[in-house]
């Protein structure tokens, strides 16, 4: 019986194209011969918008639905007004495909430079809510551009949305050796949303007596990220706090060149989408300086999501070994991709 994977690829803007090429290279290299990979590129991002004014038309959205998963490079270009591609393409995908788990592992690999002194042990995963909070686009502006302007942003939080991500996080924590889950919010100020999160968390916690839990305000959490990152195992948090914390987490674990992420719909109703945490970095596009490792680690998350656990682990081990043996010499995007493709194939 031969299996096949049907992957949609959105290279996007800037370095997106380059890093995605390496991700696909490693994907082909790691899979057994009998698994056929079909990839379909989607022309979405700044160029498409300049050409047609479209960000994500219904036809593309419908076509994307037919794939097993989506691999995305990076979205965004200075030539496009801020928010157009983010809201009209990236967040539209996350919301349309109900990616309520935004999964972002943070691991400090051996031989990897961290800005922190003393090379702490870091190995945690942030389960960021992906479909609610201040990301819903609710809000508006009245008397725009006048001295009397009022602009609002509404964070929307539902019991439905909070409970499903909290449950997912408890499952992930229960499956890890340390079995620890930290809720991060700001419930001393954002009392309505904060109480919904905290009450839901406490209620679900009762079903997982084996999981140790605690709570941190988001401001305090940033302190621990730099003073005691080893205290974290699994973190569950809202969409905006998760956005902020995972960039900080990437920074302390060697930079966004290594940070992978998955936008996951665990029900399988829609394809999940995997992307590096970094942006499109137009300043280095085409120079061969982009590190494709974050995309390659995102491919590992993609494989794990589709049931290829052994292959996912092989990629992660290859990255770990590759970083450990690194000697500081500059390697191009291509060279890193090649090195990892060779490692996973052997």
Ligand X SMILES: CC(C)[C@H](C(=O)O)[C@@H](O)C(=O)O
Residue 191 as a binder of ligand X (CB under 6 A): the answer is: no
| Contact with ligand X (CB under 6 A) among 38, 219, 230, 283 | 219
Residue 224 as a binder of ligand X (CB under 6 A): the answer is: no
**Annotated binding residues for NAD(+), as ranges?**
279-291
Q: Which is nearer to its own copies, 14 or 337 (CB)?
A: 14
The Cα 214–Cα 178 span in angstroms is 13
Residue 47 as a binder of its own copies (CB under 8 A): the answer is: no
- Torsions phi, psi for 10 (to 5 deg): -115, 95
The Cα 130–Cα 74 span in angstroms is 17
Q: Which is nearer to ligand X, 243 or 291 (CB)?
A: 243
- Quick check: 213 and 104 in contact, CB under 8 A? no
Q: Which is nearer to ligand X, 27 or 91 (CB)?
A: 91
- Quick check: 205 and 166 in contact, CB under 8 A? no
Residue 270 as a binder of its own copies (CB under 8 A): the answer is: no
In the complex, least distance from residue 110 CB atom to its own copies, rounded to whole angstroms: 17
CA distances in angstroms from 257 to 119, 295, 304, 317, 336, listed in the order given: 18, 9, 21, 17, 12
Q: Which is nearer to its own copies, 255 or 337 (CB)?
A: 255
| Residue 338 annotated as catalytic | no
The piece of 65-73, 250-258, 262-270, 333-341 that touches its own copies (CB under 8 A) is: 250-258
- Considering only residues 272-301, where is the footprint of ligand X by CB under 6 A? 277
Strand partners, 101: 129, 264
Give the 3-state secondary structure of residue 167: helix
Nearest to 42 by CA among 83, 79, 77, 12: 12
Residue 158 as a binder of its own copies (CB under 8 A): the answer is: yes
- Considering only residues 311-330, where is the footprint of its own copies by CB under 8 A? none
- Quick check: 229 and 197 in contact, CB under 8 A? no
Residue 80 as a binder of ligand X (CB under 6 A): the answer is: no
| Residue 247 annotated as catalytic | yes
- Report which secondary-structure segment, H or E, holds 316: helix 309-325
| Residue 135 annotated as catalytic | yes
Residue 202 as a binder of its own copies (CB under 8 A): the answer is: no
Residue 102 as a binder of its own copies (CB under 8 A): the answer is: no
Give the 3-state secondary structure of residue 12: strand
In this structure, the strands spanning 260-264 and 272-276 are antiparallel
Number of C-beta neighbours around residue 79 at 10 A:
11
24's tokens: 């696909």
Catalytic residue among 186, 233, 238, 322: 186
Residue 223 as a binder of ligand X (CB under 6 A): the answer is: no
Residue 105 as a binder of its own copies (CB under 8 A): the answer is: no
Give the 3-state secondary structure of residue 186: coil
In the complex, least distance from residue 216 CB atom to ligand X, rounded to whole angstroms: 12
Segment 317-322 long-range contacts (CB within 8 Å, at least 24 positions apart): 318/26, 318/343, 318/344, 319/109, 319/258, 319/293, 320/109, 320/110
Residue 238 as a binder of ligand X (CB under 6 A): the answer is: no
- Quick check: 189 and 241 in contact, CB under 8 A? no
The piece of 61-69, 86-94, 297-305, 309-317 that touches ligand X (CB under 6 A) is: 86-94
Residue 132 as a binder of ligand X (CB under 6 A): the answer is: no
Residue appearing with tokens 């690999």: 109
| Contact with ligand X (CB under 6 A) among 54, 68, 86, 334 | 86
- Return the active site residues: 135, 186, 219, 243, 247
Residue numbers at the binding site for its own copies (CB under 8 A): 76, 82-83, 86-87, 91, 114-118, 134-135, 137, 139-141, 143, 145-160, 163, 186-196, 198-199, 218-220, 222-223, 225-227, 240, 243-244, 246-248, 250-252, 255-256
Which residues here bind ligand X, judged by CB under 6 A? 86, 90-91, 188-189, 219, 243, 277
């Amino acid at each position: 019986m031969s299996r096949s994977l049907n992957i949609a690829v959105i290279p996007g803007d800037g370095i997106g194209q380059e890093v995605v090429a390496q991700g696909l290279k490693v994907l082909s290299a790691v899979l057994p011969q009998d698994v056929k990979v079909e990839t379909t590129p989607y022309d979405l991002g700044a160029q498409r918008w300049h050409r047609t004014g479209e960000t994500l038309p219904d036809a593309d959205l419908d076509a994307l639905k037919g794939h097993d998963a989506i691999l995305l490079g990076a979205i965004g270009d200075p030539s496009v007004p801020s928010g157009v591609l983010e809201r009209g393409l990236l967040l539209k995908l996350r919301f349309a495909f109900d990616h309520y788990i935004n999964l972002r592992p943070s691991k400090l690999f051996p031989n990897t430079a961290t800005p922190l002194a003393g090379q702490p042990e870091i190995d945690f995963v942030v389960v960021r809510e992906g479909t609610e909070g201040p990301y819903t686009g609710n809000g508006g502006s009245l008397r725009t551009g006048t001295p009397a302007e009022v602009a609002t942003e509404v964070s929307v939080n539902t019991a439905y949305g909070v409970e499903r991500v909290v449950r997912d996080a408890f499952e992930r924590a229960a499956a890890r050796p340390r079995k620890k889950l930290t809720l991060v919010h700001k419930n001393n100020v954002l009392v309505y949303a904060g109480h919904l999160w905290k009450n839901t968390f406490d209620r679900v916690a009762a079903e997982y007596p084996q999981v140790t839990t605690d709570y941190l305000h988001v401001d305090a959490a940033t302190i621990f990220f730099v003073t005691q990152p080893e205290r974290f195992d699994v973190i569950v948090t809202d969409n905006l706090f998760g956005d902020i914390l995972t960039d900080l987490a990437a920074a302390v674990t060697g930079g966004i060149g290594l940070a992978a992420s998955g936008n996951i719909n665990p029900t399988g109703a829609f394809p999940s989408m995997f992307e590096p945490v970094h942006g499109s970095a137009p300043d280095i596009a085409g120079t061969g300086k982009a590190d494709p490792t974050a995309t390659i680690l995102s491919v590992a998350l993609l494989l794990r999501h589709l049931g290829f656990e052994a292959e996912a682990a092989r990629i992660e081990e290859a990255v770990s070994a590759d970083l450990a043996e690194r000697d500081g010499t500059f390697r191009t995007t291509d060279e890193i991709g090649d090195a990892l493709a060779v490692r996973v194939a052997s």
